[in-house]
Structure 1
Amino acid sequence: MENLSFLFIEDDEIEVLKFKKSLKKLGFTHRILEAKNGEEALEILRKKEDLPNVILLDLNMPKMNGLEFLKELKDDIHLRYIPAIIVTTSNNHQDMLESYKLGIAGYIIKPLRYEDYIAKIQCVVDYWMVNEVINF
């Protein structure tokens, strides 16, 4: 099983811990890069050192929200091909529509129950493990 690298963009430290704990509980040892907002994530990505295979991001963040980040990501000729998946509490249809218009690879609504969250994370990771991802 080949390890993937994820960039997890989330301002809520509890959500970051929950994501890491979920991966550990599932037995995954994938590399996780972290950013607290879109600005920080773009700084990491624009260094072009060890780019992630997949980006997971929240929509509601300070400084630069998820949609603003996606616009910048998709406008960058070198970064636009990294799959980005929204992981959010927003079930707002407009947010979802705008995200897909910007070219996301998926939209996941965070469930309330931890067990349901783990199941969704497992599906995401399993999917990207069988997909051919671009290694930059």
Structure 2
Amino acid sequence: MSNFTQVEILLVEDNPTDAELTLHALQKSNLANRVLWLRDGAEALEHFFGAGHVTLPKLVLLDLKLPKVDGVEILRRLKSDIHTQAIPVVVLTSSAEERDVVDSYRLGVNSYIVKPVDFEIFVETVSRVGFYWMLVNREPRFV
């Protein structure tokens, strides 16, 4: 993990096992050197909207089922703020509920992925997501 100024991927995940699997998958793709792991929704909102200047990440991996503030509210806040709305947000969650999928896309999520149960498939999925959003996707340059 890294300090706030060098964060490229922000992982918002309350489950330590899922967070470790995600970090492992990003390490496998050589993308984990600048990851910040936040464990609940309140930490995520404080990171983006609290006092002090923060360098915005290139990607947010967001669980929906979080303590304190849920992922839907975080997504709503990120996509409604001019400073954060262009950050790609990938929901990475255990919820396959259609309502969660629909709500997430209505709020502007860039991708919605249900966490695979199988370890190898989970690692491969996260590796591909990280590779695409960090190396393939072209992001806008802001003035």
Is the pair's TM-score, using the shorter chain for normalization, greater than 0.5? Answer: yes
The aligned counterpart of 1:132 is: 138
Q: In structure 1, what is the Cα distance between the partners aligned to 2:18 and 2:63?
A: 10
Check 1:72–1:117 CA distance in 2 against 1; reply closer, same or farther (3 A cut).
same
> Which SS does the other structure have where 1:63 is aligned?
coil
Confirm or deny: 8 A CA contact 1:53 1:134 kept in the other structure.
no
Q: In structure 1, what is the Cα distance between the partners aligned to 2:93 and 2:38?
A: 15
Gaps of 5+ in 2: 1-5
12, 16, 19: which one pairs with 1:16?
19
Once the two structures are TM-superposed, the CA of residue 26 in structure 1 deviates from its matched residue by 3.1
Q: In structure 1, what is the Cα distance between the partners aligned to 2:77 and 2:66?
A: 15
Check 1:29–1:11 CA distance in 2 against 1; reply closer, same or farther (3 A cut).
closer
The aligned counterpart of 1:31 is: 34
The aligned counterpart of 2:61 is: 56
TM-score normalised over the length of structure 1: 0.89
Provide the aligned C-alpha RMSD in A: 1.9
Which residue type is aligned with residue 96 of structure 1? V
Asked if residue 81 in structure 1 is aligned to residue 70 in structure 2, the reply is: no
Once the two structures are TM-superposed, the CA of residue 111 in structure 1 deviates from its matched residue by 0.7
Gaps of 5+ in 1: none
1:41-52 superposed matches below 5 A: 41-46=44-49, 47-52=52-57
How many residues of Structure 1 are paired with residues of Structure 2 in the alignment? 134
Check 1:49–1:87 CA distance in 2 against 1; reply closer, same or farther (3 A cut).
same
Check 1:73–1:103 CA distance in 2 against 1; reply closer, same or farther (3 A cut).
same
> Which SS does the other structure have where 2:120 is aligned?
helix
